Amino acid sequence: MPSPALPLIRATAANAIKAVTASSPNSRIPKPLKFDQNRHLLSRFAFGPWGSDNPGTPDTWFEKQVVLGQKSAGYAGIAGLTDLYPYLLRPPAQTRAQLTAEGNLYGGTSQDQVLRATLALQAWSPAQLYETVVDFFSNRLNVANYSDGVWANRASYDRDVIRANAFGTYRAMLTAAMKHPAMLMYLNGDVSTWVAPNENLGRELLELHTVGITAGYTQTDVVDSARILTGRGVDGRFSDYQWSNGAHSPGPVQVLGFTHANASTATGEEMGDAYVAYLATHPATATSLARALCVRFVSDTPSAELVQAVADTYLANDTAIVPMLRTILRSTEFWDSRGRKLRRPMENVIATVRQLKLTAVDLDKGATALANLGSGLGNRPLQAAAPPGYADTQQSWLSAGALLRLWNAQLNLLNGAWPDSITKPTPDFLYGGPAPATVSVALDALAKTLIGTAMTTNEQNALLEYLGESPGLSLTRSKLPSILPHVAAQLLHTAHHHLR
């Protein structure tokens, strides 16, 4: 067992790295992966490295990303994206009017644009930290894209709830979510009234969005949670949030430690905001959110100590999101966790695009190609049907069917299967220069480009067997150039690329 490097949280990422590399003989990194600070950083706080580009020192990279994320908030990560996808910026009522004008009121045009924009930004926005945080919280406060009744307001949810607050506080994000027509429609808050409160939103607010199931609330708490939120509705045109005194359930309420006389329906909305703020700052919410972040960024089984440190950061910074990430970045546990996460299927595809530095030939077609690539993977962003969103553990995604689909996607991207949409990697790119003289040198060059490290003997032998050739064979006589995408794909099929 490794000797744990204490303390867990250091003043800087550089210090944490130093502590981890000092005990490197005891590294917990699974073979054949090795400590690689750049690839680790960019596999966790980004959707994968962009080719072999060097991010610089992690502390500096992170702070630059924070500034970049603030500058690129919303959809500014790709110039021209909102011109291409104008629904991204429309308020719900305008979206509704525009969809009506297009003769496709209940159609998915607006939601298609959100999906494509999300994928394009994940693959190609330089504000990668911002996109990983958006991805995390979209999933945490899931409102399934394409679910009933959100055709006019899902884009606004993405923009005004998630992206607007991704680098702000969770309290603000949650407060906005609990007043958003998309969330209200998705979890039936729109039809919950004093006559018979619908428990769906009140329950999930406790279980998924804040304190979690182990916080010790009861069915009575759930009913009161639902009652507190009655009155929050959606206008008759299914577009905008609307408060209604007449729908609110008056009378005393108690949920965990929150109590209120709730004497007048006129103050019901304000009380609800206080309730949401109470939950956002509850220690159980801090732990639950911190744990989910550690599972996203560190490992499927983060230590209780790391979770606590991140939860403490959350409470000490008025529920701000970025400081929690900074705590993770400066932990030795983070830097000792390379390869201890499985990339989720869609993330694997995006990471493939980034590793190969593929760009969109045409932005809309490129984004659409990414969406199509994801259609067989069950993991397209914003599309988890159920309220908990997608799981982010190996157990949930390690599947034979998914492996074969991913290997197929990797090969297709290497083959340039969508010439009008996404670029194809050139041999020069794959070799990192002009074609080498021998098979052996060529394979090493491919490994450097695709997995960022030299191959082990076993790996080199496996590829030589695949080629049926000897290492010293001249490349001009080898079949490697003629099946280059297939050999390159083999390197992307490995643990180097499938682990996060």
Among 27, 188, 242, 317, the residue binding other proteins under the rule CB under 8 A is 188
Mark residues 138-177: x for contact with other proteins by CB under 8 A, - for none: ----------------------------------------
Mark residues 365-404: x for contact with other proteins by CB under 8 A, - for none: -----------xxxx-----xxxx--x--xxxxxxxxxxx
**3-state DSSP helix/strand/coil percent for the chain, to nearest 5?**
55, 5, 40
β-bridge mates for residue 200, sequence order:
none
Query: What count of other Cβ atoms lies within 10 Å of the Cβ of residue 194?
Result: 16
Smallest separation, CB 71 to other proteins (Å): 36
Q: Does residue number 6 form part of the binding site for other proteins (CB under 8 A)? A: yes
Helices (H) and strands (E) in the chain, counts: 27, 4
- Secondary structure class of 237 (helix, strand, coil): coil
Smallest separation, CB 212 to other proteins (Å): 10
Binding to other proteins (CB under 8 A) within 68-127 occurs at none
* The token pair that represents 14 in the structure block: 């550089």
Nearer Cβ to other proteins, position 311 or 499?
A: 499
Q: Does residue number 207 form part of the binding site for other proteins (CB under 8 A)? A: yes
Smallest separation, CB 63 to other proteins (Å): 28
The whole-angstrom separation of Cα 162 and Cα 136 is 10
Among 235, 269, 305, 312, the residue binding other proteins under the rule CB under 8 A is 305
Q: Does residue number 192 form part of the binding site for other proteins (CB under 8 A)? A: yes
Ordered alpha helix ranges (H), 146-263:
154-156, 164-165, 170-177, 181-186, 199-204, 219-229
Burial label for 17, CB within 10 Å (0-12, 13-18, 19+), is buried
Nearer Cβ to other proteins, position 301 or 476?
A: 301
At residue 342, φ and ψ (nearest 5 deg) are -90, 135
* The token pair that represents 373 in the structure block: 């690539």
Nearer Cβ to other proteins, position 14 or 391?
A: 391
> What is the bridge-based pairing of β-strands 232-234 and 253-255?
unpaired
Q: Residues 6 or more apart from 238 whose CB is under 8 A from it?
A: 96, 149, 152, 153, 181, 185
Binding to other proteins (CB under 8 A) within 238-257 occurs at none
The whole-angstrom separation of Cα 149 and Cα 436 is 57
Q: Does residue number 281 form part of the binding site for other proteins (CB under 8 A)? A: no
- Secondary structure class of 450 (helix, strand, coil): helix
Number of residues that bind other proteins (CB under 8 A): 75
Q: Does residue number 295 form part of the binding site for other proteins (CB under 8 A)? A: no
Binding to other proteins (CB under 8 A) within 331-360 occurs at 339-340, 342, 345
Smallest separation, CB 283 to other proteins (Å): 21
Among 139, 142, 239, 299, the residue binding other proteins under the rule CB under 8 A is 299
Among 160, 347, 392, 459, the residue binding other proteins under the rule CB under 8 A is 459
Among 112, 300, 364, 444, the residue binding other proteins under the rule CB under 8 A is 300
Smallest separation, CB 236 to other proteins (Å): 15
